[in-house]
Amino acid sequence: MGDLVDNGQDDWQWNAWFDGAAKLFSAIPIAPVMGNHETYNLDWKMALPTYYLSLFALPGNGPAGLERYAYSYDYGDVHFIVLNTQAEELRTWYPDLIKQQQKWLQKDLAQTQKKWKVVFMHRGLWKHPFNGPLDETGSTFAPLFDTDVDLVFTGHVHSYARTAALKNDRRNPSGTVYITTGRSGEQVWDKSPQKPIDEVYYNPLDMPNYLVLEASQAVLKVAAFKQNGELIDQTEIKK
């Protein structure tokens, strides 16, 4: 869900990341998401994510000029879409990063025949302090999510949270569920904010956490666990 490393051009951090996940990757394919930390250079200034793009063999079916920054793929009954939310960090090179993805996303959603549509993106949709209106990313993508996306996973804030189903930024049983996935590494944030629209919130300060997604024609199931296997939350989406 992004921020795979703390500094996107640090060789040691990438080597440690791949070493730490080697056993997992031998059994499970990875579909990475770019976070803001992948766009920092060694001087902690904004930079193109050259390491990230060179280390992963990503589909080239994203928006024109942003191939591999965003992409989509099918797995089972699900169409997955990976979006790029690093508008602030990449503005020098891609001043219309979010808008460029808007038309592509609309076309991509229209073309898929899969029952379920799931989006991965690093940042969420709301302005800081996360209880205000939609930000640029949210105002651009949310109307498309409202029409045909069942579930959106985000990262960035290091906590786990699940919203009610939302449409037009209001609770609606036929809307989209937003899940912030928590953390898998060592970095915690004790001030990670809880949103008013969160039905469940948990800050994994004691240990990392992970999620399991199960999909069938009948239902999408998501369960969140602490690293020791203790259940944090679970939900089902049916349509």
Question: Looking at the predicted structure, is the pLDDT value of residue 130 above 70?
Answer: no
What's the rounded Cα separation, in Å, for the pair 21 and 7? 18
Residue 70 has pLDDT above 90, yes or no: yes
Using left for φ > 0, alpha for ψ between -120 and 50, and beta otherwise, residue 158 falls in left
Q: Say yes or no to pLDDT of 183 above 80.
A: yes
Residue 183 near residue 193 (C-beta atoms within 8 A) = no
* pLDDT, position 131: 64
pLDDT tens, position by position, 103-113 = 999 999 999 99
Average model confidence (pLDDT) across the chain: 95
Distance CA 123, CA 130 (A): 11
Flag whether 238 is in a domain. Answer: no
User: Going by DSSP bridges, is the β-strand pair 220-226/231-237 parallel, antiparallel, or unpaired?
Assistant: antiparallel
Cα 167 from Cα 86, distance rounded (Å): 24
Q: State which amino acid sits at residue 162.
A: R
Secondary structure class of 154 (helix, strand, coil): strand
Element spanning 234, H or E: strand 231-237
- Digit-coded pLDDT (tens) for 1-57: 999 999 999 999 999 999 999 998 889 889 999 999 999 999 999 999 999 999 999
Whether 168 maps to a domain, the answer reads yes
In a domain, 219, yes or no: no
CATH number of residue 57's parent domain? 3.60.21.10
Query: Is residue 216 in some structural domain?
Result: no
**Full domain range(s) for residue 50:** 11-206
Put simply, whether the predicted model's pTM sits higher than 0.75 gets the answer yes
Please report the pLDDT score of residue 133 as a whole number.
Answer: 86
Q: Which residues contact 107 (CB under 8 A, 6 or more apart)?
A: none
In a domain, 87, yes or no: yes
What's the number of domains the chain is made of? 1
The Cβ of residue 211 has, within 10 Å, a number of other Cβ atoms equal to 18
Would you say the C-alpha torsion 38, 120, 212, 23 has a positive or negative sign? negative
Asked whether residue 86 is assigned to any structural domain, the reply reads yes
User: What span, in angstroms and rounded, lies between the C-alpha atoms of 199 and 146?
Assistant: 19
Residue 215 included in any domain: no
> Does residue 239 fall inside a structural domain?
no
> Which single residue is written with the structure tokens 């490393």?
5
